[in-house]
Structures are given as structure tokens and as C-alpha cells.
Amino acid sequence: MVLKGINASDGVGLGCAVCVREESLDYSDVPYSGKEAEKARLQNAIDEFNQRTAAMADRIREQTGPKEAEILTGQITMLADPFMLSQMQEAIDGGSCAEGAADAVCTMYADMFAGVDDELMRQRATDVRDIRSRLLSILMGVTGIDLSALPAGTILVAHDLTPSMTVGLNRENVAGIITETGGRTSHSAILARALQLPAVLSIAKALELIKDGDGLIVDGGAGVVVLSPDARTRSEYLAKQKDYQEKTAALEVYRDKSTADADGKYYHLYANIGSAAEAETAAQSGAEGIGLFRTEFLFMDRTSLPDETVQYEAYYAVSKTMAGKEVIIRTLDVGGDKAIDYLGLEKEENPFLGHRAIRYCLDRPELYKVQLRALLRAGAEEQNIKIMLPLVTCVEEVRAARELLDQCKKELAEAGVPYDKDIALGAMIETPAAALIADLLAQECDFFSIGTNDLTQYTMAVDRGNAKVAKLYSPFQPAVLRSIRSVISAGKRAGIPVGMCGEAAADPGLIPLLMCWGLDEFSVSSASVLATRAQIHRWHEKDFRRITEEALGMSTASGVEGYLKASVNQS
């Protein structure tokens, strides 16, 4: 039987199933001992949770790195939210035992995060559920899942791979991971890639279909699981596993190389990050800079606006980590599927087309200026920060942002605070409107960065979360490709650099087209840096020009994609 899911972490694993099922956390028989006693029990459990989580974070930091440890330390931060704690205490005042209070409040937050379309926000639901189950386990004295003594050749099957489950995991004995939930940007996927384990996520009813001891093959690249494979299938996948391992090892030669094509032309290869801690991972991966720092994550998991100092410290930390290399920081991209209660965003019937991103920030100039001042200050020392505006649709938005930036410069100068006087201001091209007036925007901007995720969604009028129309969501659509080409062309004519920070920048099939059109900078996930560099290294100009001409002569996304993938495999 072949089960299909989401390809979350590349590689091929063969082994036997070990199914992980949660212990019962039924607290219906727990008596209510009074307000003070229950609050004391709750606080003791939180203190123990924090101690255990800090120790787990230290162990994950040693095993995989700071980015993965931050997932756990983020749980401590979430539980430290005074609003969350006060809600639990109010539930106890209302007659709930500590278990009931923790369960009700965590479930409410998890449901709230799970209802958001953005995958990065849905990660918070996984975190809160992990907090809930671990708090209840501490309160009830239930021993947690111990994955330190798994037999060799284990294929781990679970509803979700939580950060706490990975602590003590014997990586050498685990051949692959299967979960019932999660996507490519979920914590399950991040952790699997960090552990370099093949993983297929979102296989519905995996724990019903798979039994302990079942033979399994996990093809993380294809997003396929083979249940009870025969000898011939095992042999085929063993050969595929060997081939993958050899190709992965071969990529290491690119770690310290510059990014150049086969003719010696150089490109910039940057990484996308969501926090200051991820900058270190990006640097270690071989990234030559940061092409996208998503600052909205500084604003999430909080009950109040991060002040100028908090923001300055985060931006400065990234600037220092990447000293001598460019750091492109996107200003607050809030709204749409990124709701933050304390920002006072009104519920809208069509939030993706509503009061969000640069529109919201320009209507809240005092809030926006806090971020702009922090960015100006953070860039004073290394002078490597560039400011990028999200969801630009017209020239007026860039001019208004630049006017606010000039006001901030004046305020800092009058206060005698050091700042980067020549900081660059650019636009993220992710709407059809911006693409159509790219020539006009290029006269106002110091650089462009193409966000292919939203550009594809808006160009094709497709809700990428809607399975019924998801097949239309493809950067290989001729309309999307023509849009990308025209944006790069407008930037080149104006003499400003053009980068790409959407997922398409790492797609082997699209890389030769982007090179042909003159893209200056590719910004990808840290995990994709070496593979992207290797792809760029293989292409001669005469070859990528020939392939591009052929591809643009095709009228369908499937035709373009099939041709490009075949060309990549043959070259």
C-alpha cells in the first residue's frame, strides 16, 4: 500500500514502525482543592515545565543548533505571557482544578492558532498543544514519552512530532518520520530536517493504518510512504537511498564556495529567516546574506507592542551575525492571516485584500516609526541593513514610507543617536499591481525583491489553502513567469538590484530562467542553500538561454514544468 502525504524532509528511510500514542490525560476524577491550593499546584507545574524545557533546549542546541532550540525556548516565552496565566487563574477562581484551567486555556489558544491560514502561525497551535499535554502530565504525574531507547531501523509514526519528543531521540536508530499533521514549514518539518531524517507529514489516519512492527519505506522527497513493501520495492528504494546519500555528501563541496554559474558569472545567494537566532543557522549553512527577515514574528506571542529597544536588539543581532553581508529586513507584515490582537486589527470579510501590511503601517505612523527608528539604529555600525516594504501596490506607498523614514532620521539626528544615513529602501514585489508598475516603482526604490508565494496567489486568483483550486497555484504558470520576467527587466533598466525571496528561488526548474532574466539575488531557506548553489554552478549561459526560450514558448503550467524538470535532469 502506498500512502501519500507532504514531502517535508528529503531522503529515503527503510525500517519498521514504532507508533507513538499519547498517554491518557483524563483528569475528570481530580478534585478541586480550593483557589489557593489549585493556583499553587498550577504555578509549581509551570516552574517545573520551565526547568525541563530549558534543559531540553540546551540538549537540542547541542544536537542540532540554535534555531531548533529556539522552538523550545519559545514555549517558555509563551507560557510566561501574563495574559495566559491570568486566564488560567480566572478559570481556577471559577471552580476549575489546575488541570482543567490549563486544558481550557491552552485548547482555546491552540484552536485560535489552528484556524489561521498561514502555516507559520499554525505552528503555534502545535506548540500550545505540546505545552498543554506536558503541563497536564506534570500535574497528573504521568511519565512522558521516552524515545531514547528505540530499536535500530525505527520509522517513527506519530500524530505530530513535538519539540519535546525530539529530546533524547537517538538519531542513529531512527530511519524516518511519519506524522498525521504538519506541513513543510511546520515545526515537525523543521526538526526533521535539522535531524537530517526523511519525513512525510499529513498522512491522514496514519496511526490507524500502520501498526507497530509494520515494514515501511519513507520517501521524504516524494512525500510517499510504502506500507509492507515487497522485496523488489525494497531493493529499488535501497538504490534510491544510496543515490540520495551520495548526492547530499557531494553538496558539501559547495559550502565555502562563491555562487557562480559555469561561465564564472557571480550571483548573491541569501537565506530567509524568521528570527534573530536563525541568522546563525543561515551563516553556518553557507548563506552570503539575509534576503528576508520576517519581522512579524517579533510581534507575535506577545500581549503588547515590542518597544524600540526590543526591536533594535533583534535587528542589531542579525546585523552583527552577518557582518560584512547584506541583511534585508521586511517591515511589519501583519493582517491577512496574521492576526495580532493587541494591534487592534478589525475583522474583515476579505482580509487578504484588506487593511494589512504596508497599508496598516502607514495608517499607524507612530507605531511604524518605532520600527523604522530601530532599523536605522541597528544599521549604524555595520551599515548592512536594507529595509523592505511588504505588499506594495502603488508609488504613493513607497513615497509615504520614505517620508516617515526621513522623519525618523531627523529625530535620531536631533537626539544625537547614531544611525545609518544611507540605508536602502526597497519594495517586495508580490502583487500584480506592483508587477505592472515595476518601472515606476523602480524610480522610487533602491532594490526589488520578488515574493513569489503571494505573487502567484494573487496573479492566479487562487486561495492556496483551498484544495479545489490548489492545482492552479504554481509559479510555472505562464502568467506568473511573464510577471517575474517583467519585474526583473524593469529593475535592470533602472539599475537597481532584483532578488527573489519566495520558494521559487530554490526550485531547480526555475533557476535557469531566473539566471537568464538577470536575477541578482536568490534567497532561500537555510536548508536549500547548498543545493541552490550547486544548481547555479552547473549552468552555462548558452544552455539556460536555450531552455528559457523553449519554456516561454509553452502555453500551460504543466507543459512548462515538465519541460524544465526534464531539462534539469538531462543537463
Calpha distance 312→306 (Å, rounded): 10
426 burial type by CB count under 10 A (0-12 exposed, 13-18 middle, 19+ buried): buried
Any idea what DSSP says for residue 463? Answer: -
> From start to end of 182-302, where are the E strands?
199-201, 215-219, 224-227, 268-273, 290-294
Calpha distance 118→463 (Å, rounded): 11
Calpha distance 281→67 (Å, rounded): 7
Is 501 noted as a catalytic residue in this protein?
Answer: yes
- What's the CA angle centered on 387, arms 488 and 485, to 5 degrees? 10
Is 19 noted as a catalytic residue in this protein?
Answer: no
> H helices of 416-477, where?
432-436, 438-441, 452-459
260: region left, alpha or beta (phi > 0 left; psi from -120 to 50 alpha): beta
As a whole number of Å, the CA-based R_g of the chain is 25
Burial 193-206 (b: 16+ CB within 10 A, else e): bbbebbbbbbbeeb
Contact between residue 216 and residue 225 where contact means Cβ atoms under 8 Å apart: yes
476 burial type by CB count under 10 A (0-12 exposed, 13-18 middle, 19+ buried): buried
Calpha distance 428→447 (Å, rounded): 9
Contact between residue 217 and residue 2 where contact means Cβ atoms under 8 Å apart: no
- The residue type found at 335 is G
Catalytic residue, from 19, 361, 445, 501: name it: 501
Please spell the DSSP secondary structure of 117-131, one letter per residue. S-HHHHHHHHHHHHH
Catalytic residue, from 187, 268, 361, 516: name it: 187
Q: How many CA atoms lie within 13 A of 50 on its CB side?
A: 12
Around Cβ 140, how many Cβ atoms within 10 Å? Answer: 16
Residue 243 grid cell? 543515490
Task: Give the helix/strand (H/E) hosting 140.
Answer: helix 119-140
The set of catalytic residues is: 187, 501
